[in-house]
Amino acid sequence: MATMMALETDACDALLNSNSLVERCMGNLDLVQRLLSRFADSGRQDCEHLEAALRAGDLRTLASVAHRLKGNSATIGAERMARLASRIERESKSAGAANLDSVLNSLVAEIRAVQVEVSQRCHESLDAFQNLGANGGGE
């Protein structure tokens, strides 16, 4: 439960916690690599979906995309992103969605940052990634 609670606090707030990702994949680095590539590939489209939904005032779509992003980012260890996506999901489900704009901007910026980080790591060798994971992950 510690991981989940951490998503809502600032205490554990990594751009990409590779430690937890490697652990979740039970050391299967092949799987780690696949998940990260998939994530990097879909990032741009996700940002477009979010922005289009907000422009159209389509809060349902916004909540649903944010929900999916929350799950994905939490799984790969993008903790800050998971926290932001969770806020978007929650606020777009509640009636007074006032400051969605600024949170959404933060989320889009975060997605891009994670994407850059992920692409860099995907270019590194698996060994290097493993070392990163073993050394405590984080940013």
Partner 1 sequence: MNILLVDDDPTNLAVLENSVRCFGFEPTTVENGRDALRLIRTGSFQMVISDIEMPGMSGIELCREIRGRATNGYVYIILLTSYCDTESVIKGLDAGADDYMSKPFHPAELQMRLRAGKRLLSLEGRDLVIFTMAKLADHRDNETGAHLERMRLYTQLLASELSNWPQYRNTVDGQYVRLIYMTSPLHDIGKVGIPDRILLKPGPLTPEEFEIMKTHTIIGAETLESAAQHYPEADFLRMAYEIALTHHERWDGSGYPNGLAGEQIPLCGRITALADVYDALTSRRVYKPAFSHEKARRIILDGAGSHFDPAIVQAFLNVEREFIQIQHRAATDCVEQSLFQVPSFRSSLNLPMTV
Interface ranges with partner 1 (CB under 8 A): 1, 3-5, 7-8, 20, 23-26, 28, 31, 34-35, 38-39, 67-68, 70-72, 74-76, 86
C-beta of 131: minimal distance to partner 1 in Å?
21
Whole-angstrom Cα distance, residue 57 to residue 75? 28
C-beta of 74: minimal distance to partner 1 in Å?
4
C-beta of 8: minimal distance to partner 1 in Å?
5
C-beta of 132: minimal distance to partner 1 in Å?
19
Q: Which is nearer to partner 1, 28 or 105 (CB)?
A: 28
Q: Which is nearer to partner 1, 6 or 104 (CB)?
A: 6
Q: Which is nearer to partner 1, 44 or 105 (CB)?
A: 44
Question: What DSSP letter does each residue of 116-131 carry, written as one string?
Answer: HHHHHHHHS-HHHHHH
Q: Which is nearer to partner 1, 63 or 97 (CB)?
A: 63
Q: Where are the alpha helices (DSSP H) in 9-125?
A: 18-24, 29-55, 59-76, 79-93, 100-123
Q: Which long-range contacts (CB under 8 A, 24 or more apart) does 46-55 make?
A: 46/111, 47/108, 47/111, 47/112, 50/88, 50/104, 50/107, 50/108, 51/104, 51/108, 54/100, 54/101, 54/104
C-beta of 69: minimal distance to partner 1 in Å?
10
Assess contact for 8 and 15: CB atoms under 8 A.
no
Q: Which is nearer to partner 1, 86 or 115 (CB)?
A: 86
